[in-house]
Amino acid sequence: MSGDTRHPVDLDTLADYTAGVLDGAEAARVADLIETDTGWARAYEALVRAEAAVRDDLRAAAAMSDHMPDDVAARIDAALTSLPERGAVVSLDAARARRRRIATAVAGVAAAGVAVLGGLSLANTQMSAGMEAADAPVLAPEAAEPPVAPHGESDGVGSGDMGSVTGDSSAWPLVIASGRDYTTGSVRDLWAYAGAAPPADADKTSRPDMAMGEAPRAAAGGALARLAAPAALEACLAAINAIQPGQPVVVDFARYEGAPALVTLVRQTASSIVVVVGPDCGISDADMITAVPA
């Protein structure tokens, strides 16, 4: 070491040098700086000492108890218990039939005005985080489509047939765009929408007496706009079904913890679950954010 501080010390580079991960030329350059530059030399010595102290602190912190809290363990056990057993047999024919029916339903939704999700039309409803369930714009199938019966018993998700649905109208999910910002604790509120079956005709799905706020419009028409396309929503529902087999009851174009999300209530064999997915749902997987027993 012979010179004064001439070059500003780059802490990341110095850390990489101490870790031995720099390539030959860069390592040689840093070694030369440590040899010739007072600032780098002192910084290097200080960092080596400090790293040892940090390791000691981390070891001390790691020695603290880290048992999973009982309530968290119970919650996770409950979530896992709600899943179908791995050995259950999937009926491919039934799954294909379900896929066809979803496609038809989604096409109907689009025809009835789901294009609002791209900011084009549909129900204009003023909403806020504290809105009532019934205020959400309902993006329902067109008149020819059967009405939703979310609380119907014939969900067709029987044991041993995770992907099947029956042929009745209860197969159609209610599609809404509440724009609501859900949290883990509030996703179960989706049941409130499930209780409000959409009207059987397209006219009633429109809510011209209300004006959609900017927040829900942005939630639905922004990051989630891709999912407004029937094929994309179909693919998304199929991806959700692949990880959480069951009957989608309500699909809400909304937010989860501030981020755009599709919040879907899925009725399963003996329980229900809310599956929250991101804007990339259906591209390669469900883009799942979380799943909460409902």
Partner 1 sequence: MGRAYAEMDDAALLRAHVAGNGEAFGELVRRHRDRMWAVAIRTLGDREDAADAVQDALVSAYRSAHRFRGESAVTTWLHRIVVNACLDRARRRQSRPTVPLPDTDAGLVGAADPPVDSDTALVVHAALSRLPAEQRVALVLLDMQGYSVAEIAEMLGVPEGTVKSRCARARARLAVLLGHLRLDDPRHTDHPLDEGNQQVGGDVGTTRGAVAGAEPGPPRSGPPHVGGEVGGQGGVA
Residue ranges binding partner 1 (CB under 8 A): 4-16, 18-24, 38-39, 42-43, 45-47, 49-51, 53-55, 57-69, 72-73, 75-77, 79-81, 83, 85-88, 184, 242-243, 257-259, 288-291
Smallest distance from partner 1 to CB 275, Å: 10
C-beta of 64 vs 209, nearer to partner 1 = 64
C-beta of 38 vs 104, nearer to partner 1 = 38
In angstroms, what CA-CA distances link 109 with 5, 176, 198, 202? Answer: 68, 10, 11, 9
Smallest distance from partner 1 to CB 55, Å: 6
- Rounded to whole angstroms, how far apart are CA atoms 263 and 266? 10
Q: At what angle do helices 24-36 and 11-19 cross, to 10 degrees?
A: 110
C-beta of 50 vs 231, nearer to partner 1 = 50
The length of the chain is 294
Smallest distance from partner 1 to CB 185, Å: 9
C-beta of 3 vs 146, nearer to partner 1 = 3
Q: Which residue has the tokens 């789901």?
A: 114
In one-letter notation, the amino acid at residue 13 is T
C-beta of 67 vs 214, nearer to partner 1 = 67
Q: Three-state SS for 87?
A: coil
Q: At what angle do helices 230-243 and 92-112 cross, to 10 degrees?
A: 140
Smallest distance from partner 1 to CB 209, Å: 35
